[in-house]
Structure 1
Amino acid sequence: MKKKPINTFLYLSLFIFPFLFFLSCQKAKSPGVIGLSGEEAAWPAPIPCRVEDGDNQDLFLLSLGKITTPLAKATYDPVQDRVTLDDGSVIEGYFREKLKIKYFSPIEKNLFPLPPSGWCSWYYYYREINEAEILKNARWLAENLKEYGAIYCQVDDGWQGRGSEKGNYRDWSTVDPRFPAGMAALAKKLREFGLKPGIWLAPHGQSNPEVVKKWGAFLVDENGESLSRTWEGDYLLDPSRPEALNYLADLFRTLSEDWGYEYFKIDGQPIVVREYRNKFSLMKNPTGEAEELYRQTIKTIRETIGPSKYLLGCWGIPLEGLGYMNGSRTGGDVVIPWEGFLVALQATMRYYFLHNIAWYCDPDVMLVRYPLTIDMARAWATLQGLTGQALMASDCLYDLPEERVEILKRVFPAVDIRPVDLFPVEQNKRIWDLKIHHLGRDYDVVGCFNFESSESSGLELKWSDIGLPEGALVHVFDFWNGEYLGCWEKGIYVPLDPASVRVFALHVATAEPQLISTSRHITQGWVDLHSLSYDSAKKKMKGKSQVIAHDPYELRFAWPRQAKLQIVRAKAAGAQVHIKNFQNWGTVSFIPQKSRETSWEIEFGPAEVYSFPPRSPSRLQAEPLGLDGLRLRWAPLYYLCAGYLISVDNNPVLYTPVPEAQVTSIDPHQEHSVSVQSVWWDGASSPEPATIKVRPSSLLPSEIFLETLRPKKMTSGWGRVRINRSVSGAELKIGNRSYPRGIGTHAPSEIILPILGLFRWFEAEVGVDAASPRQRGSVEFIVWGDGRILGRSGLVKANMPARRFRLDISRIQELRLEVTDGGDGIESDHADWVMPRLIR
């Protein structure tokens, strides 16, 4: 039986019995941490979840508060580590066994109810940092962002002495002369600013022979020569020696108790684990398992600093630290400009399922400075703001222009968001739906991304795809642009500039005026809104909001699209308010003089509303989009309109504000009637639509290259699948021949493409990429069609010329391209599908 959406009854009741409507919601008492609303979901307790994608493979689902959604087909119990699906089936040991998270336990949130928010020195200053610059940024942070929840100030690499080059600066017993007051004095000063001091180090490494000799705690041979020289240092702690644990305890007592640091970023942890595995037999007392010896070192650090100080693993994904680390970096280092965002994106896609479940994930810092465009900066901030991951800025703060600072203010602090999707994602999803339950309201904040930096794009945001009630009208507010886009049925088309994002607040429309957005935070009410009530008889809305001194605060309201209303009066305690009324919506804004909880009251009244009669569009054209979609364009109307309504076979499918749109998931074998009408804000539409009849399959070219299609699934055993490049990012090259088109991946790999019985032949060349390290790769390529093998390449090794597929795929609905290792493990298995195409 189909699960009923949570707000269907409310929605229907409001239209049938509007005179009964009275909404009164009171915020629970806040614990006093900026970003906590008092309505966080209980933890550890069962939560709604998905264990696989639904119909829309582009949807990334998140939650804030005690949400319910028909899209969640299961419940996860973190205490029992058990998933119970709606059909009654059970998956025991979900994280530990199915997801292979060996040391999983539910995150402990009592002392750290939210992820850290603040600033890190590394991605502007790198090792060229000094005490003066730390203090300048810290002072700016305290004066400008502390009240927004940014309270950590973390000193990264460069504070330690003994040189500045690899190998000779891993000495934690010295302080660089650029920090003349010393690290304890610096921490004290940061606390005086009201900040929490943080520090970076790679604690398992050491490069000072005198320290190594003094402690007798490192991996050395009988002559005292190092047995492990890595990025971590010239020497590596031997965890089998008790002296190693004593060394770590002494080091972290100094950093924590003597110096006063409260946040520790411990770097290079995957290197440490790898070296312990590889050098296990060379340890002084090699007993037990290398992983357990590593965990003893992390346990020692945790016991030394105590439970109230934050321990961050870094870099990559040191899962062996789970249970002791509060959080961890989940990917590599970011860079300026857009490529760094993609690093954070990949980390989020692959490991977000751990966030706020096992620990707090950290996809690395958020950057907003030039040469990032404003669109890029907003996209990066949205990645952080909609996921609630650890939120550390890393620009030179005092040098940022105001428009960039404004972006930071709208996403600090990180709040109690966690995934609904409890599984790793291999492809870059473009629709991020944060479902929020707050003060009795259920609403969505949706981010729509274009990850391509060189071309514009568009996508469909369908209400049914995100679990909104069938037939609902939905208010749409554009957060970053600060404007209302109307109240529409079915969904909207979202045009996107290169490397950009649009963020929408979506509220199912009721029969009364609604608060649809606030300006303080990207969650649009969670951080700032303390209470909300509406008296339908008096048409008055009251609320209380936590505001910040001198930060302009705006409340955004909308009402039913055929209602002739406006804001007639407004007041806010201790502030002068400004009212602005627009077509079907309005705002009330004020500038607080103090940071405080402010009561406000809004009254709505009748209004004269202008209406322009919609005119009929013309010259509608269609071209293929993928295999089951159409890209539509028509002549822009000379006359005024609010946008356009697209219908397929006389059924409305979405609204678009511009004279273009796309529709997908239509039967390509059938002829369809596609029409466009112009519309006004009240829902009126043009009497005569522009209409065409089209069979999508008839528009397809005779040959289509696979990399131009969006797959249902795409995975790579290492790195990420790349289009027209090898998995390493180099040109596609097999043997001595280079190729302009194709897909670069790494075994084990799987690419699934619905092809809908539209093609006769599949052709491709395959081989191990010439950039395979040490030319050791060996793989096999397998082509599947509707669950049966259509062809195999046989064993393919590095330096072999490409092998060719030509396979009959008549009537095949789904094509699956698989790469397996050659029976010798996956090392160096860089695999290329080059010139892959479907032929009709």
Structure 2
Amino acid sequence: MRHLPTRRTRRSGGRVIGALAAGVLCAAGAAVPAAADSPATAASTAVTPKSDNGLALTPPMGFNNWNSTHCRAEFNETMVEGIADIFVEKGLKDAGYQYVNLDDCWAKPQRDADGKLEADPARFPHGIKAVADYVHSKGLKLGIYTSAGTKTCDSVGLPGALGHEYSDAQQFADWGVDYLKYDNCNNEGVDAKLRYTTMRDALKATGRPIVYSICEWGQNKPWEWAADVGNLWRTTGDINDSWGSMLSIMKQNLPLATAAGPGHWNDPDMLEVGNGGMTDTEYRTHFSMWSVMAAPLLIGSDLRTATPETFDILSNREVVAVDQDPLGKQGVVVSSTGGRWVVAKEMKDGSRVVALFNETGSAQRISTTAEEAGLPHAAAYTLRDLWQHTSYNTAGAVSATVPAHGTVLLRVAADHKWAAHPPAVELALNGSLLMEAGRGAPLTTTVTDLGRTPALRVSASLTGPAGWRVSARSAAGPATVPTGRALTTRWQVTAPAGTAAGLYDLTLDAQYRSPTGARVRSSVPLQAHVVVAPPAGSRYLSDLPQLSASNGWGPVEKDTSNGEDEAGDGNPLTIGGTVFAKGLGTHADSAVEFYTGGACSSVTAQVGVDDEKGDKGTVAFEIWADGTKAASTGVLTNATAAQQITADVSGAQVVRLVVTDGGDGVDSDHADWADLRLGC
């Protein structure tokens, strides 16, 4: 989310940026200046050769400090060298991570008398070359940062490279730098393609192999031209450590698959895995989808304090191998109905990696077939679960019940090895996991044999928290389940009276034997949501508990606008000069769900873009009743007065309030649900 073209500040997970317009696309290219330092604005009609530096033949893997430290004092040479040590000690180097990259704030505020950059002596008392030497001594590589403008992006504005491309590039080469991240702030309106091409040529002139990362936030559609310029290019604004931000960026990056390949990659920004704003399930999704998208894997968490789970996610070599596959194909969307995503990635060995990704806030059955994923017809296939590290056979079905915000990542191959593995089974749940305390909720589970071989002595079990009653109302096994058939079991689940509203863990287990006698256990974690029926009458929805909420930037706010960072940092809800006391402040893309229990009839609100963003922001509002869109607005802008939206939600168990981007990218899309009422 970049607030351009006027000069202003932008908060991005704590980063404050002063920026100028990036300008429009230019002609084919720029000539290599003859002088050691020539401004990027130099006129030229010559065409530069295609950038083919032989680097980044697979997506770069490494670390960047920005997401965890920003410009705080702890960002210094001790930290950077310590990260290199951790790469070696924790096995990240062996898993494929190479680059230890410095972001903004490494430099002094002014160049020296000769116009050269200098390292901040407080942060890097021994200089950048000494740090590079240390990193190289560990068998790793060093990356550095600057901006394609007069200043960098931090609030102070350290020296940028605009007009100094050749001397800066040579200085980086002399220091032993292996990777350059080139940002987009304070660019004086100079054409983006020209600015980035000039630095490409400057890097080439040094003779040192330096991976070139273009960071112009996708503003000028670099996927259309940057393969001739850099090794990777940002396709979106900055990521932040939230489900909404990660999801929005993923959706923007997925359609660009044809632009990616060896030496030139779409970059949906750094990893947030381990920074604390998402659950481990969400972080596994983040890592899975970045790998399926053949994205650069740049760790953005503080490895000095990372949890074992964070290291387990980042060092999963089977998932890393998906990202690093030498064929270099980015995954493509097979289907995405109702937030149930199937994304398939072609691999060099002919297999397909299939991501079954659940965008929604409840467990979902997601399915495809090996042929739909791009494999040829075969009698059976080998199916490898890349998070569980187990292999099965399948007759062709690729299906799973995927937890909320989760991803099941499978590698599917048409090979003769399938017969060595037990049949895959799918554990599925029919029925809602919403329940009121003290009232039994009926559930039906199925254990379906997806394999070419039968599953023998199949049994199912369902367990819940201590004190919950879970009873089978029909046979739970054992049974022999042939290919394509299922063991179906009906259950009654009751949360004790007085159980507080919220999420509670359940587990569905299946045990069975393969025809060779191997014992197999499969399980699916589920979450039951204990809910409270809404009171009768007309109520403000901001006063009622939310089932789930995702937001493009910062949390969903109650009775204030969206402040983009921490909870409670918004302003009074204001649309078209009118201030509203009650409502929700959101930021596209967002979705907020409420339990209505079939007892409510209407949702009404005054909606629009909050005044706090001036002339910025375009959004559209939708109200969904269960799985049906009940009402929507057209695209609204800051110039639009508050619009009335009313939806008939009679009989719905869940009401979902959705805000989508208006089509111009997620940019200052502060969307207010003002005077938001539920009639029951």
TM category, shorter: 0.5 to 0.7
What displacement does 1:421 show? 4.2
Match of 1:327 among 232, 236, 261: 232
Q: Could you report, residue by residue, the CA deviation over 1:256-296 in whole angstroms, capped at 9, with x for unpaired residues? A: 1x2111111122x1x345x316xxxxxxxxxxxx4565356
Q: Deviations over 1:90-111 (max 9, x none)?
A: xxxxxxxxxxxxx999984734
Contact 1:162 1:171 in 2 (8 A): no
Cα deviation for residue 392 of structure 1 reads: 1.5
Change (3 A) 1:316 1:486: same
2:55 is the alignment partner of 1:131: no
Contact 1:767 1:796 in 2 (8 A): no
Identify if the C-alpha distance between structure 1 residues 791 and 114 changes in structure 2 by more than 3 Å, giving closer, same or farther: closer
2: CA distance, partners of 1:796 / 1:402:
45
Deviation at 1:200, TM superposition (A): 1.6
- Report what 1:276 is aligned to: 189
CA distance in 2, matches of 1:394, 1:259: 24
Structure-2 separation of matches of 1:679 and 1:419 = 36
Q: CA deviation at 1:483?
A: 3.5
Where do residues 354-369 of structure 1 align in structure 2 (5 Å cutoff)? 354-356=259-261, 359-369=264-274
| Alignment CA distance shift 1:146-1:106 (3 Å) | same
**1:768 is the counterpart of 2:620:** no
Secondary structure of the residue aligned to 1:513 is helix
Distance 1:264 1:122 in 2: 14
Q: Give the superposition deviation at 1:151.
A: 1.6
Quote how far apart the aligned CAs of 1:489 are. 5.7
* Residue 266 (structure 1) aligned to one of 182, 187, 209: 182
1:251 aligns with 2:168: yes
For structure 1, the 5+ residue unaligned runs are 1-102, 164-169, 208-228, 278-289, 518-557, 563-583, 585-610, 618-632, 646-651, 661-677, 684-715, 752-760, 784-789, 808-816
> For residue 561 of structure 1, what is the aligned residue in structure 2?
453
Structure 1 contact 350–425 (Cα < 8 Å) conserved: no
Q: 1:478 aligns with which of 385, 394, 413?
A: 385
Cα 1:428/1:249, change in 2 over 3 Å = farther
Alpha-carbon spacing, 1:634–1:444, altered in 2? closer, same or farther (3 Å): farther
Deviation, structure 1 residue 398? 5.1
Q: Sequence identity of aligned pairs in percent?
A: 18
Question: Deviations for 1:713-747, whole angstroms, at most 9, x for unmatched residues?
Answer: xxx9x999x9999898779875444776899769x
Q: Distance in 1 between matches of 2:669 and 2:129?
A: 49
* Structure 2 length-normalised TM: 0.57
CA contact (8 A) 1:187 1:259 kept: yes
Q: Is the counterpart of residue 161 in structure 1 residue 108 in structure 2?
A: yes
Give how far 1:182 is off: 1.5
- How many matched pairs? 495
**Contact persistence 2:368–2:397 (CA under 8 A):** yes
Counterpart-to-counterpart distance in 2, 1:793 and 1:613: 52
CA distance in 2, matches of 1:424, 1:316: 27
Give the CA RMSD over aligned residues: 5.8
Which deviations, in whole Å up to 9, do the C-alpha atoms of 1:148-191 show, x marking residues without a partner? Answer: 3222221223322349xxxxxx9933432332221112112222
Q: For each residue in 1:736-780, what CA deviation from the matched residue of structure 2 results, as whole angstroms up to 9, or x when unmatched?
A: 44776899769xxxx9xxxxxxxxx99976753234622677999
Give the 3-state SS of the residue equivalent to 2:614 in structure 1. Answer: helix
Tell me which residue corresponds to 1:390: 296
Change (3 A) 1:829 1:430: closer
User: 1:364 is matched by which residue type in structure 2?
Assistant: D
CA contact 2:57–2:262 (8 Å) conserved in 1: no
The 2-side partners of 1:335 and 1:302 are apart by 30
Distance 1:767 1:384 in 2: 34
| 1:204 equivalent in structure 2 | 149
Is contact 1:161-1:177 (8 Å) kept? no
Q: Which secondary structure state, in structure 1, belongs to the residue aligned with residue 68 of structure 2?
A: helix
Mapping 1:84-95, distance limit 5 Å = none
Alignment of 1:314 with 2:211, yes or no, is: no
Matches within 5 A, 1:167-566: 172-202=117-147, 204-206=149-151, 233=157, 244=163, 247-256=164-173, 258-267=174-183, 269=184, 271-273=185-187, 275-276=188-189, 290-291=191-192, 293-295=194-196, 297-306=198-207, 308-314=209-215, 316-317=217-218, 319=220, 322=226, 323-336=228-241, 338=243, 341-342=246-247, 344-349=249-254, 351-356=256-261, 359-369=264-274, 371=276, 372-397=278-303, 399-409=305-315, 410=317, 411-412=319-320, 414-415=323-324, 416=326, 417-419=328-330, 421=332, 430-438=341-349, 442-452=350-360, 455-463=361-369, 465-466=372-373, 473-484=380-391, 487=394, 490-496=397-403, 498-508=404-414, 513-514=419-420, 561=453
Between the aligned partners of 1:782 and 1:458, the Cα distance in structure 2 is 22
How far apart are 1:641 and its partner, in Å? 5.1
Compared with structure 1, are the counterparts of its residues 780 and 394 closer, same or farther at alpha carbon in structure 2 (3 Å cutoff)? closer
Structure 2 SS opposite 1:205:
coil
* Aligned-partner Cα distance in 2 for 1:316–1:401: 30
Choose the corresponding residue for 1:800, options 630, 641, 663: 641
For 1:512 and 1:430, locate their aligned partners in 2 and report how far apart those are by CA, in whole Å: 26
Deviation, 1:313, is: 1.6
| Matches of 1:827 and 1:340, distance apart in 2 | 12
Q: Secondary structure at the match of 1:276?
A: coil
Q: Secondary structure at the residue paired with 2:291?
A: helix
Give the Cα–Cα distance (whole angstroms) in 1 for the partners of residues 662 and 273 of structure 2: 40
Aligned positions of 1:739-818 closer than 5 A? 767-771=607-611, 773-774=613-614, 798=639, 800-803=641-644
Structure 1 CA distance, aligned partners of 2:203 and 2:669? 38
Gap change, CA 1:516 and 1:146, over 3 Å in 2? farther
CA spacing shift, 1:719–1:407, aligned 2, 3 Å: closer
- State the SS of the aligned residue for 2:347: strand
CA change 1:456–1:109 in 2 (3 A) is farther
Q: Which whole-Å CA distance do the structure 2 matches of 1:466 and 1:326 have between them?
A: 28
Query: What is the distance in 1 between the residues matched to 2:239 and 2:666?
Result: 26
Counterparts of 1:333 and 1:818, CA distance in 2? 18
- Cα pair distance change 1:302/1:447, threshold 3 Å: same
Going from structure 1 to structure 2, the CA distance change for 1:396 and 1:475 (only over 3 Å counts) comes to same
Which residue of the partner structure matches residue 39 of structure 2?
none
3-state DSSP class of the match of 1:118? strand
**1:663-678 → structure 2 map (5 Å cutoff):** none
Question: What do the CA deviations read for 1:179-213 (whole angstroms, capped 9, x no partner)?
Answer: 22211121122222111221122353349xxxxxx
Q: What is the CA–CA distance in structure 1 between the aligned matches of 2:85 and 2:621, rounded to whole Å?
A: 57
1:780 & 1:333 partners in 2: Cα distance? 22
Question: Measured at CA, do residues 116 and 656 of structure 1 come closer, stay the same or move farther in structure 2, by a change above 3 Å?
Answer: farther
Which letter does structure 1 place at the counterpart of 2:613?
P
For residues 566-625 of structure 1, the C-alpha deviation after alignment (integer angstroms, 9 at most, x for no partner) is: xxxxxxxxxxxxxxxxxx8xxxxxxxxxxxxxxxxxxxxxxxxxx43889x9xxxxxxxx
Relative distance call for 1:305 and 1:362 in structure 2 (3 A) is: farther
Indicate how the Cα distance of structure 1 residues 266 and 199 shifts in structure 2: closer, same or farther if over 3 A, else same.
same
Q: How much has 1:138 moved relative to structure 2?
A: 0.8
CA distance in 1, matches of 2:486, 2:376: 17
Deviations 1:682-727 (A, max 9, x none): 69xxxxxxxxxxxxxxxxxxxxxxxxxxxxxxxx9x999x999989
Give the drift of 1:231: 5.2
Structure 1 residues 485 and 104 mapped into 2: Cα distance closer, same or farther (>3 Å)? farther
Deviation at 1:447, TM superposition (A): 1.9
Residues 17-32 of structure 1: pairs in structure 2 closer than 5 A = none
Task: Please show how residues 573-652 of structure 1 align to structure 2 within 5 Å.
Answer: 611-612=456-457, 635=473, 637-640=475-478
